[in-house]
Amino acid sequence: MSRSVLIFNPRAGRVLRRPEIIRHIEDALRPSFGDMQAVMTEGPATAGTIATREIARGAETVFVCGGDGTVNEVAQALEGTGVPLGVLPGGTACVLANELGLGNDPRRAADRLAAAVPREIAAGRLRRPDGTSRLFLLMAGVGFDARIV
């Protein structure tokens, strides 16, 4: 049987207001994705570490319910692993989930993902002057745009 993980940010807007959505997501995804374990982030910059650890433990699919920042942390950890990422809108804006056609409701998104077929998407890479880089899945802003966001 396959094993999946649901990484969720308990401070994300929709999750904070309706914590019961995590149970619904697990129940909706389990029939299609096997053993499902929900793991809560412990603060900023912890989602990627959780994803890396769970993949090492055998997770074959990683789902993330949080805002765009939490999703991006997990995406960084999945780079090059071949492990699919399922995005569930848990934050306030959830821009990526909307752009993927999943909408703003985590319950409906979970139902849609249960029947989804994984596909590759192009990720962008931002390179910094110091030589470090990071992926981005949706957009990157610089200058005034970045300062506002």
pTM for this prediction: 0.91
Residues 6+ apart with CB under 8 A from 98: 89, 104
Residues 91, 67 contacting (CB under 8 angstroms)? yes
| 3 state SS of 104 | coil
Angstrom distance (rounded) from CA 71 to CA 81: 16
| 3 state SS of 26 | helix
And the tokens for 116? 């989804």
Q: Tell me: the pLDDT tens digits for 63-106?
A: 999 998 999 999 999 999 999 999 999 998 888 999 899 999 99
Angstrom distance (rounded) from CA 130 to CA 10: 33
The low-confidence residues of the chain, meaning pLDDT below 70, are: 1, 149
| 3 state SS of 46 | coil
